Structure 1
Amino acid sequence: MDKEHTQEKRSSLRDLAYVFFRRKWVILGVFLSTVIPVTVYMLLIPPLYEATARLLVKPGRENIYVSPVGSPEGMHPPTIIQRVSEVINSEIQIIESRVLIRRVVEEMGVARLFPHMLLEDSQAADAKESLRFEAAVNRALHDLSAERVKATDVIEVGFKSYNPDMSANFIDRLIDLYLERHLEVHQSGQSYEFFRTQSAQLEQKLKTAARRLADFKKRYGIVSFNERKDLTLSKYMGVNAAIKDNDTAIKETQKRIEKFKEDLTEISEHKYLSQDQSTDPPVISTLKQRLAELELRKTELVGEYKQDNFKVVSIDNAIAKAREMLAGEEEKFHGSVSTGLSATYQQIEAELLVQEANMAAFSSRGAELGKHLIKYGQELERLGRLEPELRALERDVSVQEQNYRLYLTKFEESRVSDAMDAARMVSVSVLEPATAPLRPIPVHKALNIIVSICIGGVAGLGLAFLIEYFDHTFKVPEDIKDNLKVPMLGTVADLPHEEIEDLEALAASAKPPANYELITSNIVMHAEEKESNVLSFCSPTSEEGSSTVAVGLAASLAKAHGGRVVLIDANFRHPVLHSRFNIPISPGFADVVDEGADVHEATRQSVVANLFVLTCGTIPPNPMAILESPKLVDLIEVLRREFHWIIFDCAPINLYPDSSVLASRLDGTVLVIQAEDKRAEVAIQAKERLEQAGAKILGAVLNRRRYAIPEIVYRGL
C-alpha cells in the first residue's frame, strides 16, 4: 500500500514537472513581462508627495427637514433626514465630484499642476487643448483621495503630486471651492421670494373666507350657532318629555273616570230619610280644595316662567275649568232628604267630577304642548339646513388661516436661511488646513518587486497549466491509451534530423536504431502470437513521421533478429523511400503489380544488412487500382516465402483511402502519431476509418516525443 502511494506521489510530481519544463518559455515570458516593468518603474519612479487636510462635518440646517404641510397647531418638530454617516458620504461625493475638480484645474492651470502634460507640438495645442484639460481632470481625480477618519465625523482630504507645495495649494483651493459648492448644492433656491408671494396670496384668501362667513351669520341672524342649536334642542326634548308625561296622566285619569262610572252604576242614588239642607257639601269642598291647589301651583310657575309659557297657560285653563264646575255645584241643592241620598254615591260622584276636570285640563295642556313641539322642531330643521354651509365656511376660514400661518413661518425661515448663506454659515469647518509635506510618500520598492515576482510566477504557472488543460494533443503514452484504447507499442524520441537520415551510421552500428528496441520487441511478440509479419505503417495526417518510423523499425528487425526484411513504399501520394535510400524510384511496387515487372529486380538491397527496399515505382494515375488488384495478394505471397518481415509505408489515413484499403489486406497495422502535433480527435477519426475497413490495429507508436524534464530532475522525482 505504501509503495503504491509513493508511486502515485512520484507520478503527480513528474506530471507537474513535465508541465513546468514543457511550458518553461511561457512561464518565463509571463514572469519577465511582469517583473521587468515593475522593477524598472520602482527604480525610476520620482518621489511623490501628499498633502492632507481635515474637515469636521456636523449635521446642520442643510440636513434638517421641516414639513411644508402644516399641522393644526401650525408647528412641526424638525426632522434630521440623514444619519451622520450618510451626511459624511454625501460630502465626500461633493469633494470628489468632477464639477468641483474641473473648477480647481481651471483656476490653477494645467501647466502649473501637471507640467509634464504640455504638448510638444505647439501647432496642435489648440486642437488638443480640451483633450489635455480632460486628461488633467482625470489625473487630478486619480491623485485625489477623500475618506472618513474611522469612528469620527472628520473627512481627510489628500492630493498627491511630485511638487509638495503644489499638493498643498491644490488642497487649499479645493476646500475653498468645496465650501462654495456645498452652499450651492444645499441651498433651497428662490425660496424667500416664493414664500413672500404665497403669504400675500394666502392672506387675501383668508380675508375673503372670513368675510363670507360673517355675511352668512348676519343673513340668518346667527351669533353662536352651537349655543342656539343646543338651547333649541333642549327645549324640544323638554316639551317632548312633557307630552309623554301628559299622555300618561290622561290615560290614568281616563281609567279612574271609567272606574268611578262603573261604581256609580252599582250603587243606589236615593235613600229617603229626611230632608236637611247641607251648608258645605263634599263636592263643593273638594272643588274648592282643588281650586286652591291649582292657584298655588300657578303662583309658583309665574315665578319661574313667563305668562305665555305653556305650563302657565295650562294651569290657567285648569283653574277656569275648576271654577266653572264649582259654580255649577253651588247652584244645585245640597242637603239631606227624608227619603235620603246615599253618601257613598255622592262621594264617588264628587270624585268623578274631579277626574273629569283633570281630564279637561290635561287635554288642554296636551294641545298647547303640541304647538310648542312643532315650533321647536321647525327651528331645528332650519338650523340643520344651514349647518353644512356654515361648517363649510368655517372650515374654509380655518384652512386658509392655517396655510397663511404656515407660509408666514416659512417666509421668515427662508429669510434667515438666505442671510446665513450670504454669511457662509455652513455645517462644515476646516479642522486642519493643508501644509506642504516634508517627506515623500514611502514606497516599498523591494516589497513591490518581490510581490511582482510572486505574481509573475503564479501567473506564468497558471497560464502554463491553463494551456496544458486545453491542449488535447498526444504528449505521453498514457494519452494514447486513454483516447485510442489500443496497445502502446513504444515511443520514438525527437532526434535531430541529421541523426535520423544517417543510414551509413545505422548500417555501421552493430545495434538496432535507438528508441526502436521496445517497439521491435512488442511487434515481434504480437507476430509470434498472431503470426503477423506483413504490416503497414501509417499516420492520421501528413508529416507525422510514419516513413521514418517504418525505416527505423525495418532496420531494427533486420539487425536484431537477423531475418530478411523488405520495406515497401506504398505511399503513391508522396513517396520518400527512394530518396531516403538514394535509389531509383522505378521499377518498383506499382510496376510489379500493374505491369508485371520482376519483383527480384525491383527489390534492392539497402546499405543496412538484411534490409531490402521496394520503391513505389511509376506513380499510377489511380493508386486504388494497384491496392485493390488481385495481383497484390500474389505479390505478398511471393514476398512471404523470401522475407521474414514485410513492411508497407502508407499514405495518411485521413487524407486518402489508400491506407484503409491496403491495411484490410495485411496482417496488421501500426498507427504512427506525432507527439504534441494534432488533437486527439484526429487520431480517433483515423482509428475509426481503419476499423471500418476491417484492418487489424496492432497498436500505436508515439513519434518525436519530447522529454521535457531534464534527466537529473526526472531521476530525483
Structure 2
Amino acid sequence: MSFIRFISIIKARYKIIIFTLFITVLTTAIVTILLPKNYKATASVLVNYKGADPVTGVMLPAQLMPGYMATQVDIISSKNVAKKVIDKLGLADVPAVKEDFYQATSGKGEIKEWLADLLLKKLQVKPSRESSIIDISFFGVNPQFAATIANEFAESYMQTSIQLKVEPSQKAALYFVEQLKELREDLAQAQSKLSEYQQEKGIVSVDERLDVERARLNELSSQLVIAQAQVMEARSREKNSSGKEAYESPDVAANPIIQNLKTEIARAESRFADVSQKFERNHPFYLGAKAEIENLKSELDRQIKSVSSNVASNSRILQQREAEIRLALNNQKEKVLQLNRDRDILSVLTREVENAQKAYDMAMQRYTQTNIEGQSNQSDISLLNPAVAPLTPTSPNLLLNIILSILLGMFLGIGFGVLAEFVDRRVRTADDLIEVLQAPLLGTISKEKRKLRFFKNTSNLITLGKAEL
C-alpha cells in the first residue's frame, strides 16, 4: 500500500477513526474515574555501610559494598520483616482481614504468610545509585495506612538488622561460656601441678639457686685446677727428694738443719785432715775425728730422709685434697645437672600455666567482646525521612491515561478504518482504477477542474433561463 493510498483511506474513513478515538477516550476517562485511587507513601533510610561498627570498630571492606546494599534490599523485602510489621500492627487479628483470608484460601495455610505475600506485592524497595539511601515505598488505597505500613517496614528492617547482627554474637557468647569453663579447669590443673612440683622439690626460685650452685661449681673447678698443679709440683718434689737425687732436692738444700750439718761435716772433715796428718789411724784423736764425721753424716742422712718423708707426706695430703675437690666437683656437677632438669620440668609446667592463662585470657576477651555485641542495640541504619500520608493519589492518573487513550484510540481508529477499507473496497486513486480495470488510464480530472466546470455549467444555465424569460 502506497502512502498516497493510505492517506486517501484515512480521509475517506475519518468518521470511523474519530468515533473510535472518542469511544476509547471516553471509556478510559470513565474507567479512570471509577477505579479506586491508589496512594504511595515512601520512607527513606540511611545505611551507613562505610562507617565503623559502633562496638567492634571493624571497617566493612570496600569490595563488599555493592553486595551489602543488595543484601539490605533483600532483607527489607523478606517475609521476616513483613511478619514483624504484621505482628506490630496486629493485622492478623483484624476480623475483616480474617474474613478475606478465609474467602481467598478457604482457611488453608497461615494468615501471616498470606498477609506477608500481600504486603510484599505492594512494597517497593529502591536503593539510590549514588548514595547509601534506600527508599521504602508502599502502595495502598488509604494514604494513612500506606504511610503507616511504610514506616513500620523501616522500623522492622532496623530491628531485623540489629537482630541479625546480635544473634550470632549471642550464640558465640554461649559457646565461649562453655569454653571458659574448660579453660578455667585446665588453668587450675596446670597451676596445681606447678605448685605440687615446687613443694616436692622445695623450689622457690630455680634461677637464683642455679646461679649459686653454678658459682660453687666454678669455684670448685678453680680449686681443682690449683690442687692439680700443687699435686704435680709435690710429686716432682717428692721424686727429687728421694733416692740418690735427694741431695740436689731444693727442699733438702733449703733445710737449715741440713745446711748446718753440712757445715759441721765440712769442719769435721777439715779437722780430720789435720789429725790424719799428725796422728796414726789407731790414735784416739784420729778415731775421734773419724767417728765425729761419721756421726754427722749419719745425722745428715737421717735429716734428709726426714725431709723426703715430709715432702712425700705433703704430696699425699695434696693428692687427697685433689681427690676430695674432684669428688665435690662431681657432686656439684650432678647437683647443677639435677637443678637443670628440675628447671626444665619447672619451665614446662610454667609454660603450661602461661599457655593456659593466655588461652583463658583470649577466650575471656572474645567472650567480653561478643557479650557486648550480643547486648548492643546500636545499628548502622537510621530513619532519614519517615513516610507521611500523601495528599494526591499516585494512580490512576487521569491526564496520563487520557493522553495514552488518545494515542491508543488513534491507532485503533486507523486500524478499524484500514480494516473497513479492505472489507468494502473503493476506488480512491488512479492507481486503484488501473488495478481494478486492468486497463490503461487515458487521463484524470482533478478536483479543481471539476469545480470550475461545475461553476461554468451553472452560469450557462442561469443565462439561458433569463433569455427564455
For normalisation by structure 1, the TM-score amounts to 0.36
Contact (CA 8 Å) 2:170, 2:370: kept in 1 or not?
Answer: no
Q: Following TM superposition, by how much is the alpha carbon of 1:214 offset from its aligned partner in structure 2, in angstroms?
A: 2.2
Question: Which among 376, 394, 413 is matched to residue 332 of structure 2?
Answer: 376
Aligned residue identity for 1:436 = A
Identify the residue that residue 167 of structure 1 maps to in structure 2. 146
Identify the residue that residue 155 of structure 1 maps to in structure 2. 134
Identify the residue that residue 394 of structure 1 maps to in structure 2. 350
Question: Which among 73, 80, 83 is matched to residue 92 of structure 1?
Answer: 73
Question: Which among 225, 228, 232 is matched to residue 209 of structure 2?
Answer: 228
Contact (CA 8 Å) 2:45, 2:381: kept in 1 or not?
Answer: yes
Aligned residue identity for 2:47 = V
Deviations 1:659-716 (A, max 9, x none): xxxxxxxxxxxxxxxxxxxxxxxxxxxxxxxxxxxxxxxxxxxxxxxxxxxxxxxxxx
Identify the residue that residue 183 of structure 1 maps to in structure 2. 162
Identify the residue that residue 41 of structure 2 maps to in structure 1. 51
Unmatched segments (≥5 aa) in structure 1: 1-16, 18-38, 66-77, 270-280, 287-325, 341-348, 453-717
1:289-308 matched pairs, under 5 angstroms: none
Q: Distance in 2 between matches of 1:210 and 1:365?
A: 46
Partner-residue secondary structure (3-state), 2:208: helix
Question: Which among 359, 370, 379 is matched to residue 426 of structure 1?
Answer: 379
Deviations 1:299-357 (A, max 9, x none): xxxxxxxxxxxxxxxxxxxxxxxxxxx588578545673789xxxxxxxx9xx999999
Identify the residue that residue 337 of structure 1 maps to in structure 2. 266
Q: Say if 1:79 and 1:234 are closer, same or farther in 2 by CA, change over 3 A.
A: farther
Partner-residue secondary structure (3-state), 1:168: helix
Aligned residue identity for 1:169 = T
Q: Following TM superposition, by how much is the alpha carbon of 1:445 offset from its aligned partner in structure 2, in angstroms?
A: 6.7
Q: Distance in 2 between matches of 1:249 and 1:151?
A: 97
Quick check: which one's helix share is greater?
A: 2
Aligned residue identity for 1:172 = N
Q: Say if 1:433 and 1:380 are closer, same or farther in 2 by CA, change over 3 A.
A: same
Q: Say if 1:194 and 1:177 are closer, same or farther in 2 by CA, change over 3 A.
A: same
Q: Say if 1:166 and 1:395 are closer, same or farther in 2 by CA, change over 3 A.
A: same
Identify the residue that residue 216 of structure 1 maps to in structure 2. 197
Q: Say if 1:333 and 1:98 are closer, same or farther in 2 by CA, change over 3 A.
A: same
Question: Which among 388, 391, 413 is matched to residue 435 of structure 1?
Answer: 388
Q: Say if 1:282 and 1:401 are closer, same or farther in 2 by CA, change over 3 A.
A: closer
Contact (CA 8 Å) 1:249, 1:362: kept in 2 or not?
Answer: yes
Q: Say if 1:377 and 1:413 are closer, same or farther in 2 by CA, change over 3 A.
A: same
Deviations 1:23-45 (A, max 9, x none): xxxxxxxxxxxxxxxx9999867
Q: Say if 1:216 and 1:42 are closer, same or farther in 2 by CA, change over 3 A.
A: farther
Partner-residue secondary structure (3-state), 1:189: helix
Q: Following TM superposition, by how much is the alpha carbon of 1:162 offset from its aligned partner in structure 2, in angstroms?
A: 4.7
Partner-residue secondary structure (3-state), 2:379: coil
Aligned residue identity for 1:367 = A
Contact (CA 8 Å) 1:146, 1:157: kept in 2 or not?
Answer: yes
Q: Following TM superposition, by how much is the alpha carbon of 1:163 offset from its aligned partner in structure 2, in angstroms?
A: 4.1
Q: Say if 1:64 and 1:148 are closer, same or farther in 2 by CA, change over 3 A.
A: farther
Q: Say if 1:375 and 1:367 are closer, same or farther in 2 by CA, change over 3 A.
A: same
Q: Distance in 2 between matches of 1:450 and 1:367?
A: 129
Q: Say if 1:133 and 1:284 are closer, same or farther in 2 by CA, change over 3 A.
A: closer
Higher relative contact order, chain-length normalized (CA < 8 Å, sep 6+)? 2
Contact (CA 8 Å) 1:232, 1:380: kept in 2 or not?
Answer: yes
Quick check: which one's strand share is greater?
A: 1
Contact (CA 8 Å) 1:63, 1:80: kept in 2 or not?
Answer: no
Contact (CA 8 Å) 2:234, 2:318: kept in 1 or not?
Answer: no
Identify the residue that residue 317 of structure 1 maps to in structure 2. none
Identify the residue that residue 367 of structure 1 maps to in structure 2. 323
Q: Following TM superposition, by how much is the alpha carbon of 1:379 offset from its aligned partner in structure 2, in angstroms?
A: 0.8
Q: Following TM superposition, by how much is the alpha carbon of 1:433 offset from its aligned partner in structure 2, in angstroms?
A: 1.1
For normalisation by structure 2, the TM-score amounts to 0.52
RMSD value, Cα: 5.5
Q: Distance in 2 between matches of 1:426 and 1:327?
A: 108
Contact (CA 8 Å) 2:180, 2:364: kept in 1 or not?
Answer: yes
Partner-residue secondary structure (3-state), 2:266: strand
Q: Say if 1:204 and 1:374 are closer, same or farther in 2 by CA, change over 3 A.
A: same
Deviations 1:143-165 (A, max 9, x none): 43334434544333223345433
Q: Following TM superposition, by how much is the alpha carbon of 1:94 offset from its aligned partner in structure 2, in angstroms?
A: 2.2
Contact (CA 8 Å) 1:51, 1:434: kept in 2 or not?
Answer: yes
Q: Say if 1:103 and 1:218 are closer, same or farther in 2 by CA, change over 3 A.
A: closer
Question: Which among 106, 120, 128 is matched to residue 127 of structure 1?
Answer: 106
Identify the residue that residue 679 of structure 1 maps to in structure 2. none
Aligned residue identity for 1:175 = A
Unmatched segments (≥5 aa) in structure 2: 3-23, 271-303, 409-469
1:34-45 matched pairs, under 5 angstroms: none
Q: Following TM superposition, by how much is the alpha carbon of 1:223 offset from its aligned partner in structure 2, in angstroms?
A: 0.9
Partner-residue secondary structure (3-state), 1:337: helix
Deviations 1:16-70 (A, max 9, x none): x9xxxxxxxxxxxxxxxxxxxxx999986766543222223346897866xxxxx
Contact (CA 8 Å) 1:111, 1:118: kept in 2 or not?
Answer: no
Contact (CA 8 Å) 2:228, 2:322: kept in 1 or not?
Answer: yes
Contact (CA 8 Å) 1:50, 1:159: kept in 2 or not?
Answer: yes
Partner-residue secondary structure (3-state), 1:155: strand
Contact (CA 8 Å) 1:64, 1:80: kept in 2 or not?
Answer: no
Q: Distance in 1 between matches of 2:360 and 2:116?
A: 49
Q: Percent of counterpart pairs with the same letter?
A: 19
Q: Following TM superposition, by how much is the alpha carbon of 1:90 offset from its aligned partner in structure 2, in angstroms?
A: 4.0
